[in-house]
Amino acid sequence: MTIEVNLRVNGVDHAVEIQPHESLGRVLNGRLGLNGVRISCKEGECGACTVLVDGEAVTSCIMLAVQAGDRDIQTIEGLGTPDDLHPIQQAFVDEHGFQCGFCTPGFVMSSKALLEATPHPDASEIAEGLSGHICRCGTYPNIIRAVQRAAEELGQEATNE
Amino acid sequence: MSEQQDYRIIGKAIPLKDAVDKVTGRLKFSGDIRVPDMVHGKILHSPHPHARITGIDIRRAESLPGVLGIVTHQDAPAWEWENCWHNYGGRILDDRVRFVGDEVAAVAAESVEIAEAALELIDVEYEILEPTFDPIESLAPDAPQVRAEGNARPPTEVIWGDLDSGVEMADVIVDASMAFDSQAYAPIGRNACTAQWEGDRVTVWTCTQTPSEMRDAIARGLGVPISNVRVISQPCGSSFGLWWIGSLQLITVLLARKVGRAVKIGLSQEECFATVKRRHLERSTGRLGVKRDGSVTFIDLEHVHDNGAYGLKPDVGFLTVDLWGAGPHGRFIDRGVSTNLVTAGCMRGVGDVTMGAFVERLLDMAAVEIDMDPLEFRLKNHIRAGDPLRAMEGETLDQMDLASLPDGWPELGKLDGEALSDCLIRGAEAFGWNEKWTGWGKPSAIDGPKRRAVGVATGVHSCGTEDEYPVSALVRVHADGSATLHVSIGRQGQGSETTQAQIAAEALGIPIDRLIVQAGDTDAAPPSHGAIASNTSYRTGFATWDAALDAKRQILETAALQMGSHAPDDLDMRDGVVFSPSDPAVSLTLEEIMSTYRPDSMTPPMILGRTSTPMPPSMMYARYFAAHFVEVEVDIDTGEIRLLDYVATQDSGTVLNAKVLENQVIGGAILGAGFALTEHLAFEPDTGRILNPGFLDYKVMRAPDFPLDPGVLFGDSHDPVGAFGAKSGGEAPTTAPIPAISQAVYNAIGVWLDIPMTPERVLEALGKI
């Protein structure tokens, strides 16, 4: 049995035939070819597959694709481009907020949700806010610095606007 | 002391070469590889810890629609393969299984789901054999034998002086034992292998730290020339020693050849945790003597490590003996033992994480007895420049003719530099050691059930190790003046592509953005030692530097020929421009040189720099050191240990890229702290099956679990051999956290614990449960 569901991903509608048990992450990565949606633990523990659904960070490996129908899904692919990085992405580059980079899209997406809810978090709030993610390389201090730097940058942009 | 140099690129904290691919999610990992006409493979794992396969019937599985083929031990060559340093060895598929999770067969099918369904249809008959799990019990001659070679590897011994004299000299002798559970590599990325045969040539896409070694193993195992095997190493996330060569790749290659299609096998989280490798289970016992003035008179240590099912290591490394070998008498013995547990192999900081922690414990217990500050005690006893490196004493370096080494190499067999004291002293200052240290077994603060205290410890590792591979690199300079560095080190993400690029670009004299690194395509890179044993910055770095200098020499010769007015010696290159120190009029861009025909041949220049200087055997003299400081808070009601403050210092010689090294140092500290506090694999007692093969039940550190803004300091040293004076970086920082935290816990609550120091162990030691 398949179901047709409309997935609005990074502002573009995709009508996809899915099986009811398929996870959002599997459809985004496997069907829509979104390389930055990283499926690893499949139990919502590592955070690598995090995407935003209606602005909220979710682990897409344990959300059913049907639950995301007609909702606004944002993945790392919808953030910045190589020539025009989002300030959070740029801050991760500048602060070396990663090593192997496997967990990075998830951290970046959660950071975006975090900064929208809490524009000026302190280090503890950032650490707590990102505690759903694992960076096995152990780059947390520089991830925290990257989010602090991004917060300053985004605050500056908001002031300029 | 560090040399003041006007470096353009070395020492700059430039972003990783692939940073933009990483933050945009575009980087392709081994699991993302798709090739045309590809089918999917899955592996059948043994449910038994020890059994002989007496029958295997694949007919039902083969007849499932969509199944293309199956391999079992009947398809595997009789040949046994082996990783370097005996990390792992065995047949690709065997008629005997040696741990729960061992590979029995593999299926190729049109989809992952069909392959998984087919696994259920393979009928295997097992003759159950008695298993053995405990490392000490498995040493007994009458224990079930896991391998044809027997369980017990011959002991590796390092002995100097005379123990009896050491005992006589001592005012105080302490003895102890310590047990270490097994740490999981716990990779966040999951490796995959894709193999594609074209005739008798095969291309393999997978994550490996050792592309050259993997290529050669595939060639030997599958009976084809080395020239016919191409390994293209992909990233797959943190590795820490997990991804060298494994059954994954050899099975995929075998299966792809049998079915005549490209095959991809991707591992699940459970397979990554429970069927590949893990850190050894280790047991230490020993004693140590000191005089009242704090000088160590002897160390006597016996160590046992389990190799699991297919590990073969006789020892887990002996570098810690160098750190504390300045005393006159010592004996270190290590022996490896096979068990019916998943294979154990070298994991980041191997041996020095465990034996190092145990030696530090003995040091601490002795310092308690004579009531000496642990910082002072370490400063008094650690190795100094010119001291002998005990680990090398008695070793037969039969392939080395020391007399033939070039002049100017350091005196081999003795430590070449001295920066550990500097790390200890400056680290103590940054941490505020003198203010925070309140004495042995005395918490610095008590708040209800919470006890605070501090600890300091050190660690060491080798700057790479020789084996059957040389280190080598190629630097190709292209017609537009851009360049490619080819090295065979894989792409684990520790920043080595960037630091190798910095070495090459600096040595060559071109901007960093004009050079790219190909880090693991064996059709292009020369055969080389992989990214293991802390080789990369030191040994591969040397090879890269040498190859880049060779390319530069060729460029300057070509420029001199083209100009006809200056000798090559009178020319130099910086930022991609050839100039003459003696003649300001000379200014030729590399692109101009590369696009101008040589007058002697009327052809464009061909610049191909290669490593030609053999590197001296770094195991003989090169070490790098860590000193870590920690403040902990122990809750005596819950048993929980929190880390409140952390300062990590490291002597890595010249810092190639401060942010890369900082991430390696803190990442290593977090990996070590995770092992100190929470990380351990739980084995089912009757089967050895791993009960926690995933992040849900295997607890690693997350952002709030480690101090948010730890201090990092680098020692001020300059290695006489390493490229631009750099040493290694990645493993020493995993060695100091366990002893530092363990010492702080003793000071907080007065007990010495096994590793990891879980809340349960804390409460048990306090007699609360």
The pLDDT assigned to B135 comes to 97
How far is it, in rounded angstroms, from Cα B697 to Cα B701? 13
How far is it, in rounded angstroms, from Cα B452 to Cα B471? 47
Contacts with B268 from chain A: Cβ below 8 Å: 42
Which phi and psi angles does B708 have, rounded to 5°? -75, -25
pLDDT along chain B (769 residues), means of 10: 72 97 97 96 98 98 98 95 80 97 98 98 98 97 95 93 96 98 97 97 97 95 97 96 94 98 98 97 98 97 97 88 89 96 96 97 98 98 86 52 59 74 96 97 97 97 85 96 97 96 98 96 94 94 98 98 95 97 95 95 96 85 94 98 98 97 98 98 98 97 98 92 95 98 98 98 97
Interchain proximity B704–A127, CB inside 8 Å:
yes
Q: Which amino acid is present at B473?
A: A
The pLDDT assigned to B510 comes to 98
CA dihedral A89, A94, A100, A103 (to 10 degrees): -30
How far is it, in rounded angstroms, from Cα B47 to Cα B101? 6
> Same domain for A96 and A44?
no
Closest among B324, B316, B304, B307 to B353, alpha carbons compared:
B316
> Same domain for A66 and A7?
yes
Q: How far is B34 from chain A (nearest CA, A)?
A: 11
Contacts with A60 from chain B: Cβ below 8 Å: none
Q: What pTM was estimated for this model as a whole?
A: 0.97
Length of chain A: 161
How far is it, in rounded angstroms, from Cα B624 to Cα B460? 6
CA dihedral B535, B424, B181, B665 (to 10 degrees): -50
Interchain proximity B708–A123, CB inside 8 Å:
yes
Residue found under tokens 């991430």: B663
The pLDDT assigned to B400 comes to 47
Q: How many contacts does A have with B, using Cβ atoms within 8 A? A: 180
Handedness of CA B240, B241, B245, B246 (dihedral sign): negative
**Closest residue in B to A144 (Cα–Cα):** B708
Among candidate residues A46, A78, A110, the one where a domain is terminated: A78
Handedness of CA B509, B515, B520, B522 (dihedral sign): negative
Interchain proximity A131–B704, CB inside 8 Å:
yes
- Contact B736/B670 with Cβ under 8 angstroms? no
DSSP string computed for B211-225? HHHHHHHHHHHHT--
Q: How far is CA B138 from the centre of its chain?
A: 27
pLDDT tens by residue, B18-63: 999 999 999 999 999 999 999 999 999 999 999 999 999 999 999 9
- Count the domains in chain A: 2
| CATH, residue A51 | 3.10.20.30
- In order of start, what are the domains of chain B with their CATH numbers? 33-129+185-274 (3.90.1170.50), 349-462+622-765 (3.30.365.10), 471-610 (3.30.365.10)
> Same domain for A145 and A98?
yes
> Same domain for A107 and A65?
no
Strand order in the sheet with B123-128: B96-97, B51-57, B123-128
Omega before B756 within 30 of 0, i.e. cis: yes
Which phi and psi angles does B596 have, rounded to 5°? -105, 130
Contacts with B694 from chain A: Cβ below 8 Å: 41, 43, 45
Length of chain B: 769
The pLDDT assigned to B211 comes to 96
Token digits for B714? 């680098």
> Same domain for A65 and A10?
yes
Closest among B463, B487, B528 to B214, alpha carbons compared:
B528
Closest among B579, B575, B576 to B591, alpha carbons compared:
B576
Residue B608: helix, strand or coil by DSSP? strand
pLDDT tens by residue, B6-17: 899 999 999 999
Q: How far is B729 from chain A (nearest CA, A)?
A: 14
Among candidate residues A25, A47, A78, the one where a domain is terminated: A78
Closest CB from B25, B269, B670 relative to A105:
B25
Which phi and psi angles does B600 have, rounded to 5°? -85, -15
Q: How far is CA B387 from the centre of its chain?
A: 26
> Same domain for A93 and A150?
yes
Q: Which amino acid is present at B535?
A: N
Interchain proximity B25–A140, CB inside 8 Å:
no
How far is it, in rounded angstroms, from Cα B410 to Cα B390? 17
- Contact B109/B120 with Cβ under 8 angstroms? no
Give the single-character DSSP code of B102.
-
Cα angle for residues B113, B114, B118 (degrees, 5° grid): 120
The pLDDT assigned to B403 comes to 56
Closest among B11, B6, B12 to B574, alpha carbons compared:
B6
| CATH, residue A98 | 1.10.150.120
The pLDDT assigned to B617 comes to 80
Residue B28: CB atoms within 10 Å: 13
Interchain proximity A135–B26, CB inside 8 Å:
no
Closest CB from B268, B492, B669 relative to A100:
B492
The pLDDT assigned to B82 comes to 80
> Same domain for A69 and A121?
no
**Average pLDDT of the residues in A52-66:** 97
- Contact B691/B710 with Cβ under 8 angstroms? no
- In order of B235, B447, B467, the CA distances from A103 in angstroms are 13, 38, 33
- In order of A63, B100, B133, the CA distances from B688 in angstroms are 33, 7, 7
Residue B753 C-beta-side C-alpha neighbours within 13 Å: 34
**What is the 3 state secondary structure string of A130-143?**
CCCCCCCCCCHHHH
> Same domain for A95 and A63?
no
Interchain proximity B24–A80, CB inside 8 Å:
yes
Contacts with B696 from chain A: Cβ below 8 Å: 41, 43, 45
Contacts with A77 from chain B: Cβ below 8 Å: 24-25
How far is it, in rounded angstroms, from Cα B566 to Cα B564? 6
CA dihedral B157, B159, B162, B168 (to 10 degrees): -80
Cα angle for residues B378, B754, B731 (degrees, 5° grid): 55
- Contact A112/A88 with Cβ under 8 angstroms? yes
Closest among B197, B315, B259 to B68, alpha carbons compared:
B259
Residue A17 has pLDDT above 70, yes or no: yes
How far is it, in rounded angstroms, from Cα B569 to Cα B341? 61
How far is it, in rounded angstroms, from Cα B595 to Cα B210? 36
Q: What is the average pLDDT value for chain A, to the nearest integer?
A: 97
> Same domain for A16 and A61?
yes
Among candidate residues A78, A111, A127, the one where a domain is terminated: A78
Give the single-character DSSP code of B540.
I
Token digits for B120? 């259920």
How far is it, in rounded angstroms, from Cα B675 to Cα B739? 11
Residue found under tokens 């302490």: B174
The pLDDT assigned to B89 comes to 84
Closest among B521, B523, B522, B501 to B512, alpha carbons compared:
B501
Which phi and psi angles does A74 have, rounded to 5°? -125, 130
Residue B606: CB atoms within 10 Å: 12
Token digits for B688? 């050895």
Strand order in the sheet with B67-71: B67-71, B103-109, B39-45, B263-266, B192-198, B201-206, B229-233
Handedness of CA B92, B98, B102, B105 (dihedral sign): positive
By 3-state DSSP, what share of chain B in percent is helix, strand and coil, each rounded to 5?
A: 30, 25, 45
Strand B623-635 with B450-462, pairing? antiparallel
Interchain proximity B188–A135, CB inside 8 Å:
yes
Residue B228: helix, strand or coil by DSSP? helix
Instruction: Provide the strand spans (E) within A10-49.
Output: 12-18
Token digits for B283? 């047991």
Token digits for B15? 């972003």
Q: Which domain holds residue A98?
A: 87-160
Interchain proximity A96–B15, CB inside 8 Å:
yes
> Same domain for A9 and A71?
yes
Q: How far is A6 from chain B (nearest CA, A)?
A: 23
Q: What is the ipTM, given to two decimal places?
A: 0.98
- Contact B423/B623 with Cβ under 8 angstroms? no
